[in-house]
Amino acid sequence: MPDADTSSPSFSDFNSHTPHEGADSGSSGGGGSHHDHGSGPASDGSGPRKKRRRRRGKSRTGQTSEPGQQPRPQSQQGDNTPRDRASNNTRSSGNTSGSGRRRRGRGRSGPDFDDDRPITATNEDITLGAMIAGDTEELAHDHDPELDEPDPVAPEHKPLSPEIFDTEMTFEQLGLKESIQRAIRGLGFRHPTRIQAQLVPIALTGKDVLGQAKTGTGKTAAFGLPLLNMCTPGEPFQALILGPTRELAVQIHNDLANFGRYTGLSAVTVYGGKPIRQQAARLAKNPEIIVGTPGRVIDMVERGHLRLHNVRFAVLDEVDRMFDIGFRDDIRKILKMCPTDRQTMFVSATISNEIEDLARRHMRDPEKIVTSSGSLTVSLVQQHYLTVQPWDKKRLLAHLLTHEEPALTVVFCRLKRTCDELVQYLARKDIEAHAIHGDLPQSKRNAVMAQLKSGKLEVLIASDLASRGIDVDGVTHVINYDLPEDPDIYVHRIGRTARAGKQGVAWSLVTPEQGELLTQIEHLINTEIPKLDYPDFQPGPVPDGYRQQREQDEQLRQIRSQKFNRYATPAPPPASAATAAAQQADKEKLAAKFPGGIIPTQLPTKRMFGKVRTSRTAKLDAAPPPPPGGTPPAST
């Protein structure tokens, strides 16, 4: 496969291409108020049709166990329906004429999924689905010089949520360059979110910033806009952005492409799973911005392809994950390579006291901004939990998917093996689903993300890899098939839905043993999660051998919960009746050897410390020999 074009065109070199007709409002990079261009129910049938799942019963809405609880909507309206997502994502095919077809050829190679080439205006025309298509796929663009200027801002179709947006401020008031404001107007954004309205002005002053905001509120744009505003064109490697996953690195790169197409800046994504040779060639073009994962960034530095002595801006997205045990040493190593007078920005949805303490060690008097006061989750997410026995979880999941028929569902599992097993189980139930987790090869992960972005996927079975970095418009439901052991992960999981002011639903399947874990999650998010009952779901019988397996698991859990002292004398194991009789007989035999049958248990208190006669002591006690030639000494 030939290498992708390694030229380094800037944003301004591609102004002749048709701008985006409204970015996905769910983008974490956008986040601001979005004025839809032609959004809404696609009654004209535009866009590719999606294959619906076979319904296995009459659609019903679950009944809440609490009186007065509003029933959950079966599916979201407007942009979140499958047909609307297919219509809105027609641009993902790379054909702005609406034909929905791609033209293949070898004239100009399309960018890869990681798109390590410099940021260009084509990146905002080429969505993630088209980027995964491969190096040999050429994308057709209809050129219209009249569309070079941004489209006028359309009137708002629905009120903005004051929980997320700052409706009293506009992007023009943030003090950004005209080139960036031009891109923002072209994307249809007018009002910033609260994290953007507070973080951007402080970041523009050069201060270090530690920002915390709810998921789906535009944290990427909060640090990306001031970064693009302060970077100097032509100065290589002046900005470094690190993320925990490959998908998140690509997402950040795409958001920067949307907002920086007129700035003349270029960026490169650097992460594992792609050939080093291609990324090294793109780094040789000296881009201004580097977006990557810690492991590949260190690899590129050690190989001499990347230099960090010129970094003026360092950004850590999902800082709580970046300072986790797995990344902590790499992050420290990278930040030590950067100059100490840099500006540092750390953002995340969950920042504990320990993470904040670690983050402040790498910052200079940072300003902390918190817009997630009260609850860590967006109120637009309707959260419920369903009690279920472990052996009924698969049946209940299939029941929810076939009776509710959500438009786009992300199911989170704790184990990678569980993801693959669920895909096979749902396939037997005539439900098409795809899995994504860390054990899949990069090409397979790219293909799944392409289907997800293009609206061709209805059910995604994901590990916690996808809890950060997946930003897809139209995710209506999130199902926690397994509750996460870390409550912070729950916040990031359900943040895949209800993004940028849209509605969303989050269900959690909770077993009787997980009540304490559910309580910990409620304490973290400061919200009580109501119970949801499904009377039409009939639990199955207890499987054979489950009780025995459960007893063994309980014994193992008790053993692990006990505290052991390595220096303490272990207690003897309980003896059987035969062993006890044998031990008693041995004691009687031993007692017969001592007077009175009393067996001594310790040494006597007084002992005779006598000397033992040896050959040496015998010589010392003998009379000395007479001197030679003399009389023997007189005896006294």
Question: Is 381-540 the same fold as 11-33+94-145+160-370?
Answer: yes
HSE, side-chain direction, 13 A CA sphere, residue 422: 33
**Cα–Cα distance measured from residue 270 to residue 276, given in angstroms and rounded to the nearest whole number:** 9
Give which of 147, 183, 119 is closest to 18, Cα–Cα: 147
**Each residue of 5-36: pLDDT tens digit?**
433 434 433 333 333 333 333 344 555 554 44
Average of per-residue pLDDT across 275-283: 94
Q: Look at residue 79 in the predicted model and tell me its pLDDT.
A: 41
pLDDT-based confidence at 110, cuts 50/70/90? Answer: very low
Q: What is the CATH number of domain 11-33+94-145+160-370?
A: 3.40.50.300
Q: Look at residue 17 in the predicted model and tell me its pLDDT.
A: 37
| Least confident piece of the model among 14-23, 318-327, 422-431 | 14-23
Rounded to the nearest 5 degrees, what angle is found at the Cα of 419, between the Cα atoms of 416 and 424? Answer: 135
Can you name the residues that pair with 221 across neighbouring β-strands? none
For residue 558, pLDDT over 60 is answered with: yes
Alpha carbon separation from 149 to 156, 170, 207, 441 (Å, rounded): 21, 20, 34, 41
**Each residue of 45-68: pLDDT tens digit?**
333 334 444 444 444 444 444 433
Q: Look at residue 220 in the predicted model and tell me its pLDDT.
A: 93
Contact 349, 215 (CB under 8 A): yes
pLDDT-based confidence at 142, cuts 50/70/90? Answer: very low
**Cα–Cα distance measured from residue 89 to residue 453, given in angstroms and rounded to the nearest whole number:** 8
Residues 6+ apart with CB under 8 A from 401: 53, 409, 426, 431, 459
Averaged pLDDT score across all residues of the chain: 75
Q: Look at residue 620 in the predicted model and tell me its pLDDT.
A: 73
Q: Look at residue 164 in the predicted model and tell me its pLDDT.
A: 83
Q: Look at residue 608 in the predicted model and tell me its pLDDT.
A: 65
Rounded to the nearest 5 degrees, what angle is found at the Cα of 100, between the Cα atoms of 95 and 104? Answer: 65
HSE, side-chain direction, 13 A CA sphere, residue 331: 27
For residue 265, pLDDT over 90 is answered with: yes
**Cα–Cα distance measured from residue 330 to residue 182, given in angstroms and rounded to the nearest whole number:** 37
For residue 494, pLDDT over 50 is answered with: yes
520 vs 580: which has the higher pLDDT: 520
Q: Where are the domains of the chain?
A: 11-33+94-145+160-370, 381-540
Residues 6+ apart with CB under 8 A from 403: 55, 56, 57, 58, 59, 60, 536
- Spell out the SS3 assignment of 43-55: CCCCCCCCCCCCC
Q: Look at residue 451 in the predicted model and tell me its pLDDT.
A: 86
**Each residue of 565-614: pLDDT tens digit?**
777 777 777 767 778 888 888 888 888 888 888 888 887 777 666 666 67
Give which of 118, 158, 83, 155 is closest to 261, Cα–Cα: 118
**Each residue of 341-393: pLDDT tens digit?**
999 999 998 898 999 999 999 999 999 999 876 667 767 889 999 999 999 99
For residue 309, pLDDT over 90 is answered with: yes
**Cα–Cα distance measured from residue 138 to residue 150, given in angstroms and rounded to the nearest whole number:** 25
Q: Is 581 exposed, middle or buried (0-12, 13-18, 19+ CB in 10 A)?
A: exposed
For residue 294, pLDDT over 90 is answered with: yes
560 vs 413: which has the higher pLDDT: 413
| Least confident piece of the model among 114-118, 192-196, 359-363 | 114-118
For residue 143, pLDDT over 60 is answered with: no
Q: Look at residue 16 in the predicted model and tell me its pLDDT.
A: 34
**Cα–Cα distance measured from residue 246 to residue 248, given in angstroms and rounded to the nearest whole number:** 5
Q: Look at residue 374 in the predicted model and tell me its pLDDT.
A: 62
Average of per-residue pLDDT across 109-130: 36
For residue 78, pLDDT over 70 is answered with: no
Q: What is the CATH number of domain 381-540?
A: 3.40.50.300
Backbone angles phi, psi at 165, to 5 degrees: -100, 150
Query: What is the number of H-type helices and E-type strands within the chain?
Result: 20, 17
Q: Is 54 exposed, middle or buried (0-12, 13-18, 19+ CB in 10 A)?
A: exposed
Backbone angles phi, psi at 381, to 5 degrees: -90, 120
| Least confident piece of the model among 205-209, 216-220, 391-395 | 216-220
Q: Look at residue 32 in the predicted model and tell me its pLDDT.
A: 57
- Extended beta strands in 486-550, E state: 504-510, 532-533
Can you name the residues that pair with 292 across neighbouring β-strands? 242, 270
119 vs 290: which has the higher pLDDT: 290
For residue 635, pLDDT over 70 is answered with: no
> One-letter amino acid identity for 17?
H
Tokens of 176: 């950004």
- How many Cβ atoms sit within 10 Å of the Cβ of residue 476? 25
Average of per-residue pLDDT across 254-262: 93
For residue 179, pLDDT over 80 is answered with: yes
Rounded to the nearest 5 degrees, what angle is found at the Cα of 602, between the Cα atoms of 600 and 604? Answer: 90
Average of per-residue pLDDT across 207-235: 94
Percent of the chain scored above 70 by pLDDT? Answer: 70
For residue 37, pLDDT over 80 is answered with: no
DSSP states of 199-262 as a string? HHHHHHTT--EEEE--TTS-HHHHHHHHHHHHPPTT-TT-EEEE-SSHHHHHHHHHHHHHH-TT
